[in-house]
């Protein structure tokens, strides 16, 4: 088994394994995992989670720890070009939508391979991500899927609001833009967290996306919460002084919809 890295605290490492699902490196944090033990693993509800550009699957262990203590597993994935599949050229801002599209197309085979382990409950799955990982999430949700809930942070479902940033590729954006491809969107619980002062991903784009879902009758179970000045770098990710609140909100949301629902 690959060694667990990323400076994870012992409280997470003892519940974690590094796996590869359909060629995609994954950090799996599971309530039934135990250190130095190969005992039976009970099926658990699961969040498939994707980090942002220039990050890796080990980012934000506080998220994993909260969820595993709540009885929810996390499968945290390395985006194309990131983490264990590092390609610095692919991490450049102008290639963001390229690896977002690739990740959105990989999710199904990752989920299939993960479910084959018998560790996860296929009736209680969520998907989510932050920034670029959130974009991959929303792109994927525009096609038929089996996810029961979703949660995204500091991302956008309306790519037009990013047209002045390096990430914007007109042709790829038109092909992927979630707000333009909602015909197959299924109304599932969705948690949206954003920094109002985000310098990299305009909050207006995510507001428009959420309002569009609601206008089309697809947003009855959509929750959007905005943080003001947080102190996070570029007010873009991590939520700074509100980081614990954001993680608690996500945990509570997933407990309601994967464990209690």
Instruction: List b or e across 40-63, with b for residues whose CB sees 16 or more CB atoms inside 10 angstroms.
Output: ebebbbbbbbbbbbebbbbbbbeb
Does pTM top 0.85 for this prediction? yes
Per-residue pLDDT of the chain (261 residues; tens, 9 = 90+): 566 665 788 999 999 999 999 999 999 999 999 876 666 889 999 999 999 998 999 999 999 999 999 999 999 999 999 999 999 998 999 999 999 999 999 999 999 999 999 999 999 999 999 999 999 999 999 999 999 999 999 999 999 999 999 889 999 999 999 999 999 999 999 999 999 999 999 999 999 999 999 999 998 899 999 999 999 999 998 899 999 999 999 999 999 999 865
Give the span between the Cα atoms of 2 and 10, in whole angstroms.
16
Give the span between the Cα atoms of 78 and 76, in whole angstroms.
7
* Residue among 251, 224, 170, 165 nearest 200 (CA): 165
Q: Catalogue all structural domains in the chain, each as residue range(s) with its CATH number.
A: 10-259 (3.40.50.1820)
**How large is the C-alpha radius of gyration of the chain?**
17
Give the span between the Cα atoms of 238 and 247, in whole angstroms.
10
Q: Please provide the distance, in angstroms rounded to a whole number, between the alpha carbons at the two ends of the chain.
A: 34
SS3 assignment, position 232: coil
Q: 25 has which bridge partners?
A: 20
Give the span between the Cα atoms of 167 and 170, in whole angstroms.
10
User: Over the stretch 88-119, which tens digit does the pLDDT of each residue have?
Assistant: 998 999 999 999 999 999 999 999 999 999 99
């Amino acid at each position: 088994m690959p060694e667990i890295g990323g400076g994870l605290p012992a409280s997470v490492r003892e519940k974690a394994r590094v796996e590869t699902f359909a060629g995609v490196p994954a950090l799996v944090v599971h309530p039934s995992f135990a250190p130095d033990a190969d005992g039976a693993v009970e099926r658990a509800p699961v969040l498939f989670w994707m980090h942002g550009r220039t990050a890796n699957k080990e980012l934000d262990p506080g998220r994993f720890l909260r969820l595993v203590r709540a009885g929810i597993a996390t499968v945290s994935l390395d985006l194309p070009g990131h983490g264990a599949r590092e390609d610095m050229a692919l991490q450049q801002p102008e290639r963001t939508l390229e690896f977002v599209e690739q990740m959105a197309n990989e999710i199904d085979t990752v989920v299939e391979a993960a479910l084959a382990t018998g560790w996860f409950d296929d009736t209680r799955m969520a998907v989510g991500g932050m920034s670029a990982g959130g974009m991959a999430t929303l792109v994927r949700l525009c096609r038929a899927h089996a996810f029961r809930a979703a949660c995204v942070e500091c991302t956008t479902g309306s790519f037009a609001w990013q047209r002045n940033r390096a990430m914007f590729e007109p042709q790829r954006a038109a092909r992927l833009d979630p707000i333009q491809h909602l015909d197959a969107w299924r109304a599932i619980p969705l948690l949206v967290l954003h920094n109002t002062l985000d310098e990299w991903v305009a909050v207006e784009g995510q507001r428009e996306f959420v309002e569009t879902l609601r206008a089309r009758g697809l947003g009855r179970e959509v929750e959007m919460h905005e943080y003001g000045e947080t102190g996070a770098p570029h007010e873009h990710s991590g939520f700074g002084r509100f980081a614990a609140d954001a993680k608690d909100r996500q945990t509570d949301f997933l407990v309601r919809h994967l464990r209690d629902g």
